[in-house]
Each structure stands twice: as structure tokens, then as C-alpha cells.
């Protein structure tokens, strides 16, 4: 926890306040308590105090401590972050309730000279080789696979196969594929498949093992031995369309091959420009952080680290991997995310101040657009999303994010214009 954002308060709550709260808690318990020999609400208050002493004590602390911590924070004009850490609690009858509360507060700082920032975004060049590679990918996507008369498989053929794969001790998790194309000798084909299927004929069957290296790109297979049973269903060859104006017209929106190339060229340039601008925005954030020296609350840094870890877990899950089953050093991963998390928190504080100074609050139309975007992703209507976010406190967080994005765009465009 950053010492500069941490404040330790020693608080005493007057005995009268404590006694009144304890009495109110006891009376509330009396109304609902069910004790043997007494009808509900009729047990003597003295018995309630004795029987529920610990419960009363716990509830009094829970009711009074946050209220007095918040009052102390207001007196000092602090904005607390997260919940206070309470220690050294002294609670005795007819005595003040004493405790220490450690709170983190938002940092105070003056915004630096962001008007002097300069950033360059170069107009990206697109090489003709990139255009031709993209055109070749379009040609590959338009390829047709035609059946070949039965004969032994050879390099360049696409074998239509059915297969089943099992690992020792994991027979219940066998992988079965009813039909898939396997390019014999292809650059992306596992070597053992090409070696064992080369020379096979239609209806031929092959059984073989594949030892996957530990550094294999798919963690589900890395370091494992898989036994495969494969049956050849047919033989196909790939036929690529000729690169002609007819091919361009078959794509649906072009009248010539040169028009396709121009479309590809513009798309590649726009993609590169977006990447360059995003990188420039990241540089603006870094420059803003370098302009300012202030501490940030550890609570917010930890939250940001958790968000990054959760994104990583979702990415792994989307690739079919169970994050918990992978032998990852989460401690090292967490440590590696810390610097970026601190930078994110600091830059958000700075951009919030810039947004306030430049009056960059999001317009209602911008809020509505974001609600519509979230609704589309979550397959809900916008009003449902607004209602849910309002109840959960997420609407203010969303507006804050939009405000920070507007401030970043403002600084970015000014820095770019001045360069």
C-alpha cells in the first residue's frame, strides 16, 4: 500500500453513542429472537443482552465504524478508496469504542503542461508485396476442392479423412472427427500424418502415434503422446481461380482485378494507420504519466491487475484451455502486470482532471451509443442495459470511461496537430 495515499486514523466513539446503538440493536434482536420458554418478542432485554452479546458487539461495530471513518474523511476533505482496514478495536461497556482505521485516499496533484506534448503519426506505406499476399489469400479462400479418381495419396493431395485420437489415461476424452481435409506434405500438417498417409488409398486405414513437443503451440497437446486411428474417405485437389477480371467480378463489388488491388491497398493502409494511431495514443498516456509524479492507491492498482488477469483467463478459455489446469506461475504473471497497471491508474487520474478542465463530459448521444453497443454484444435492449448498469453503479463508471477516452482523444489530436 502506497504510504502517500494511506492515512491512519485513531478514532474514539463516545460511550453514549455506543450505548444507544447497542440498546437499539438489542431491542431489534428482542423483537425477532426465539428463546425457549418465551413467546417471540417477550424475552427479557437483560437475557437478550447476555445471550447475544457477541452479535450485538459485532453489529454495533459494523454500524458505527464506517460512519465515523467517513465523517473523519470528510473533515480532512479526503476521498477514500475502497473499504477501510480496521484494527486495535477496544469495545468495553460504559467506555468509548476505540479503533484504528487505515484508509486509502485519492491522490492530490496539479495537472502538468499537457498542451506542450508532441506526437507524430507517420502516414504508413503499403508494399506491393503485401497487396499481392492479401490477394493470394483471397484466391485461396475462393479455391475449390475437386474429387480425384482413387489412387495412392501423394504430396499436394488433400485427403478427406475420419480420425480418432486418444492419450494414455485419457481414453474418455478421445477426440473424434467425422471428416476433415489433411494436406499431404503441407506446411501446416503434422509430419506424422503426412508420413503415415502418403501412399494410402481410399478406404485405407492407418494407426500411428504423434509425440508432441513440450513447446507445441497448443497447450492441450504440448508434451503429450496421442494415438491416432485414421481412415481415408477420399482424395481431393485444390483448384485456385485464375487472377483475372472475371475473378474480381465474382467477388461481387469490383469490375477489375486492379480495383481489387486498390481496395486491398486502402484497407491495409487504414489498418496500419489505426495501429499507428493506437500506438501514438499509448505514447500520449506514457508521456502524461512521465509529466506527473504522484502516488496511486494500491487498492486501485490491485483492481487493475485483477482485470488484466481476468482478460488473460478469458483469452485462454476462448482457446479451449482451462487456466487452472495450466502450469503457469500466476505470481510472476501478476508481478509482470504491475507496472502497466500503475500506469493505467495514473493516466486515468490525469485524464479525468484534463476532462474536468476542458469540460469534456460525454454527450447523452455518446452515452446512448455506448449503451447500444453493450446491448448488441450482450443481446439485450439498451434500456435493460441502462437499468442494470444504474442499479450496479456501472453507469457512472461507463461515463467516466467515456470521459477519459474523450480526454485522451483531445490531448492526442492537439499533440498531433502541433507536431
Residue 110 lies inside a defined structural domain of this protein: no
Closest CA to 247 of 256, 259, 236: 256
Q: Report whether pLDDT(192) > 70.
A: yes
CATH number of the domain to which 223 belongs: 3.10.50.40
pTM of this prediction exceeds 0.75: no
Q: Report whether pLDDT(316) > 90.
A: no
Name 359's Cβ contacts closer than 8 Å, sequence gap at least 6: none
Q: Are residues 192 and 264 in the same domain?
A: no
Containing structural domain, residue 96: 3-105
* Distance in angstroms (rounded) separating the CA atoms of residues 87 and 68: 14
Task: Please give the average per-residue pLDDT across 95-110, as a whole number.
Answer: 93
Q: Are residues 266 and 394 in the same domain?
A: yes
pLDDT of residue 2: 46
Residue 387 lies inside a defined structural domain of this protein: yes
Q: DSSP readout, 112-129?
A: --GGG-----------HH
pLDDT of residue 22: 93
Residue 245 lies inside a defined structural domain of this protein: no
Q: Are residues 407 and 280 in the same domain?
A: yes
- At 49, the pLDDT band (50, 70, 90 cuts) reads confident
Q: Could you tell me if 105 and 235 are in contact, meaning their C-beta atoms sit under 8 angstroms apart?
A: no
* Distance in angstroms (rounded) separating the CA atoms of residues 397 and 44: 49
CATH number of the domain to which 354 belongs: 1.10.3120.10
DSSP 361: P
Of all residues in the chain, the percent with pLDDT exceeding 90 is: 69
Closest CA to 230 of 155, 172, 179, 157: 179
Q: Which region among 72-86, 141-155, 218-232, 278-292 has the lowest average model confidence (pLDDT)?
A: 218-232
Q: In 310-326, which positions are buried (b, 16+ CB within 10 angstroms) versus exposed (e)?
A: eeeeeebeeeeeeeeee
Q: Could you tell me if 112 and 290 are in contact, meaning their C-beta atoms sit under 8 angstroms apart?
A: no
Residue 216 lies inside a defined structural domain of this protein: yes
Q: Report whether pLDDT(101) > 70.
A: yes
SS3 label, residue 173: helix
Name the residue with higher pLDDT: 380 or 214.
380
Task: Please give the average per-residue pLDDT across 236-255, as a whole number.
Answer: 92
Give the residue from 58, 77, 105 where a domain finishes.
105
End-to-end CA distance of the chain: 39
Per-residue pLDDT of 4-20, as tens digits, reads: 889 999 999 999 999 99
Residue 403 lies inside a defined structural domain of this protein: yes
Name 256's Cβ contacts closer than 8 Å, sequence gap at least 6: 245, 248
Q: Report CA-CA distances (Å) from 221 to 60, 169, 190, 201, 216.
A: 57, 14, 12, 28, 7
pLDDT of residue 143: 92
Q: Are residues 214 and 95 in the same domain?
A: no
Q: Are residues 274 and 404 in the same domain?
A: yes
Q: Could you tell me if 305 and 338 are in contact, meaning their C-beta atoms sit under 8 angstroms apart?
A: yes
CATH number of the domain to which 44 belongs: 3.30.70.1050
Cα 355 versus chain centre, distance: 25
Q: Are residues 148 and 37 in the same domain?
A: no
Residue 139 lies inside a defined structural domain of this protein: no
Give the residue from 48, 75, 105 where a domain finishes.
105
SS3 label, residue 292: coil
Strand partners, 80: 105
Closest CA to 48 of 31, 69, 61: 31
Strand partners, 90: 98
Output helix, strand, coil percentages for the chain, rounded to the nearest 5.
55, 15, 30
Q: Which region among 49-53, 102-106, 185-189, 228-232 has the lowest average model confidence (pLDDT)?
A: 49-53
Domains in the chain: how many in total? 3
pLDDT of residue 180: 94
Q: Could you tell me if 337 and 386 are in contact, meaning their C-beta atoms sit under 8 angstroms apart?
A: no
Q: Are residues 272 and 346 in the same domain?
A: yes
Task: Extract the C-alpha cell encoding 393.
Answer: 453503479
pLDDT of residue 319: 73
Residue 130 lies inside a defined structural domain of this protein: no
How many other C-beta atoms lie within 10 A of the C-beta of residue 184?
Answer: 20
Highest average pLDDT, of 37-41, 128-132, 396-400, comes from: 128-132
* Distance in angstroms (rounded) separating the CA atoms of residues 389 and 381: 13
Mean pLDDT value across the chain: 90
Q: Are residues 327 and 382 in the same domain?
A: yes
Residue 125 lies inside a defined structural domain of this protein: no
Strand partners, 105: 80
pLDDT of residue 218: 76
Q: Are residues 284 and 412 in the same domain?
A: yes
Q: Are residues 273 and 229 in the same domain?
A: no
* Distance in angstroms (rounded) separating the CA atoms of residues 253 and 216: 41
Task: Extract the C-alpha cell encoding 407.
Answer: 480526454
Q: Are residues 371 and 301 in the same domain?
A: yes
Give the residue from 105, 127, 158 where a domain finishes.
105
pLDDT of residue 1: 41
Q: Are residues 271 and 213 in the same domain?
A: no
Amino acid at each position: 500500500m502506497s504510504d502517500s495515499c494511506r492515512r491512519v486514523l485513531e478514532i474514539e466513539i463516545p460511550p453514549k453513542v455506543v450505548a444507544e446503538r447497542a440498546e437499539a440493536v438489542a431491542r431489534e434482536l428482542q423483537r425477532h429472537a426465539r428463546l425457549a420458554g418465551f413467546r417471540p418478542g417477550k424475552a427479557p432485554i437483560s437475557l437478550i443482552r447476555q445471550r447475544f452479546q457477541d452479535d450485538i458487539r459485532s453489529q454495533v461495530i459494523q454500524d458505527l465504524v464506517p460512519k465515523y471513518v467517513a465523517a473523519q474523511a470528510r473533515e480532512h476533505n479526503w476521498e477514500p478508496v475502497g473499504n477501510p482496514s480496521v484494527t486495535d478495536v477496544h469495545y468495553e461497556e460504559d467506555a468509548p469504542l476505540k479503533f484504528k482505521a487505515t484508509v486509502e485516499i485519492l491522490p492530490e496533484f496539479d495537472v502538468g503542461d499537457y498542451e506542450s506534448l508532441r506526437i507524430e503519426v507517420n502516414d504508413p506505406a503499403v508494399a506491393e508485396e503485401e497487396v499481392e499476399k492479401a490477394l493470394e489469400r483471397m484466391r485461396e479462400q475462393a479455391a475449390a476442392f475437386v474429387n480425384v479418381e482413387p489412387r495412392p495419396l501423394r504430396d499436394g493431395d488433400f485427403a478427406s479423412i475420419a480420425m480418432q485420437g486418444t492419450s494414455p489415461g485419457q481414453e474418455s476424452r478421445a477426440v473424434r472427427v467425422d471428416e476433415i481435409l489433411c494436406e499431404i506434405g503441407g506446411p501446416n500438417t503434422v509430419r506424422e500424418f503426412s508420413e503415415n498417409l502418403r501412399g494410402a488409398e481410399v478406404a485405407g486405414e492407418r494407426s500411428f502415434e504423434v509425440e508432441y513437443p513440450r513447446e507445441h503451440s497448443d497447450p492441450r497437446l504440448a508434451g503429450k503422446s496421442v494415438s491416432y486411428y485414421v481412415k481415408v474417405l477420399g482424395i481431393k485437389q485444390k483448384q485456385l481461380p485464375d487472377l483475372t477480371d472475371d475473378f474480381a467480378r465474382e467477388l461481387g463489388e469490383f469490375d477489375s482485378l486492379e480495383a481489387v488491388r486498390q481496395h486491398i491497398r486502402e484497407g491495409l493502409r487504414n489498418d496500419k494507420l489505426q495501429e499507428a494511431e493506437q500506438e501514438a495514443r499509448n505514447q500520449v498516456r506514457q508521456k502524461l504519466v512521465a509529466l506527473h509524479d504522484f502516488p496511486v492507491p494500491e487498492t486501485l492498482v490491485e483492481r487493475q491487475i485483477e482485470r488484466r488477469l481476468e482478460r488473460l483467463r478469458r483469452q485462454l478459455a476462448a482457446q479451449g484451455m482451462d487456466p487452472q489446469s495450466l502450469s503457469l506461475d500466476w505470481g510472476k504473471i501478476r508481478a509482470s502486470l504491475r507496472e502497466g497497471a500503475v500506469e493505467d491508474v495514473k493516466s486515468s487520474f490525469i485524464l479525468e482532471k484534463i476532462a474536468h478542465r476542458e469540460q469534456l463530459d460525454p454527450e447523452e448521444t455518446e452515452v446512448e451509443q455506448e449503451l447500444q453497443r453493450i446491448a448488441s454484444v450482450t443481446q439485450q435492449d439498451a434500456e435493460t442495459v441502462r437499468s442494470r448498469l444504474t442499479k450496479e453503479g456501472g453507469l457512472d463508471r461507463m461515463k467516466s470511461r467515456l470521459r477519459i477516452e474523450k480526454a485522451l482523444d483531445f490531448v492526442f489530436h492537439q499533440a498531433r496537430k502541433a507536431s
